[in-house]
Amino acid sequence: MSTWHYDLESAVRETAPGRWATRLSAAWNIGANPNGGYAAASTLRALCQVAGQPDPVSVTTHYLRPGLGDRPGEILTELVKPGRRVSTAAGRLIQDGKERLRMLAAFADLSAEGASSHPEQSLPPPRLPPPDRCRARITLDQGIDLPIASRLDVRIDPAFAEPGAAGRAEIAGWVRFADGRPPDSAALVLFADAFPPSPYGLLGQVGWVPTLELTVHVRRRPAAGWIAARFRSRDLADGTMVEDGELWDEAGNLVARSRQLALLLGG
């Protein structure tokens, strides 16, 4: 059995056909609630087993209410469509008798054997200082407690590290597991929701920014090492934001893209 925190704290156990037991950990909290990317991890893990394919390639999660840290949960799953190349599955996370999130995900094989031979075109990675010249997320003035810092090592490009200093809704930097666990395709869904919200670079302290919906498209399996990331919002209106993100591995490969709709509750 794995000893990595992420694997232990997103583990699932099938209790009956289509039903899985899990337990969320408060070690991944943002303030009083589990981080959205982490809250989705156990459901994603169950759906991967249901689909019978190794890699999530499209994951859409709707957050109906906050998850509960250090509390058990049940995941209800459905194989929507099996396929030779792509299989689709759906899941719901229930805690304390209430549905916390609902996920629809497509799975495929992103190994070299399953990769396409067509020509490729993708975004180049941003020019970032190396991680040891970036600011640890825990040192930023974000107006909220960050238990998740014990699980994820997030480093912020100094250009975006001071509240509101960037003058635009953008954040960039590096992320990896704090305990050294190598990244994989499923972890990219977590990493897509691991950074301070992009409006930090424009507005400064924004406190807890709960995600309403998060979609992540995984493009390839990441190489070992740090993951570089950039998130931007060009759409802030009526107390909500639409944020676009990109993630690259240490080899410079674009490994995932994301878009989320979230609430801006104020600092």
pLDDT by 10-residue block (mean), the chain, 267 residues: 91 98 97 95 98 98 97 98 97 98 98 61 89 93 85 96 88 97 98 92 78 97 97 92 97 97 79
Domain containing 47 equals: 5-109+130-263
In a domain, 52, yes or no: yes
- The total domain count for the chain is 1
Which CATH number do you get for residue 178?
Answer: 2.40.160.210
Provide the CB-side half-sphere exposure for 67 (13 A, CA).
36
Longest dimension (CA), the chain: 52
pLDDT of amino acid 235: 92
CA geometry: angle 239, 212, 139, nearest 5 deg:
75
In a domain, 24, yes or no: yes
pLDDT of amino acid 117: 56
pLDDT of amino acid 118: 59
pLDDT of amino acid 145: 86
In a domain, 114, yes or no: no
pLDDT of amino acid 115: 55
**CA dist 82 to 30, 62, 69, 92, Å?**
36, 22, 33, 19
Structure tokens that stand for 251 in this block: 């080899």
In a domain, 159, yes or no: yes
Element (H, E) at 257: strand 254-263
- Rounded CA-CA distance 157/257 in Å is 19
Task: Please count the other Cβ atoms lying within 10 Å of the Cβ belonging to residue 231.
Answer: 27
Structure tokens that stand for 137 in this block: 């997320």
pLDDT of amino acid 119: 57
In a domain, 123, yes or no: no
- Rounded CA-CA distance 249/240 in Å is 29
- Rounded CA-CA distance 122/254 in Å is 7
In a domain, 89, yes or no: yes
Helices (H) and strands (E) counted in the chain, each on its own, are 5, 15
- Between strands 254-263 and 227-237, the pairing is unpaired
pLDDT of amino acid 165: 81
- Rounded CA-CA distance 157/227 in Å is 13
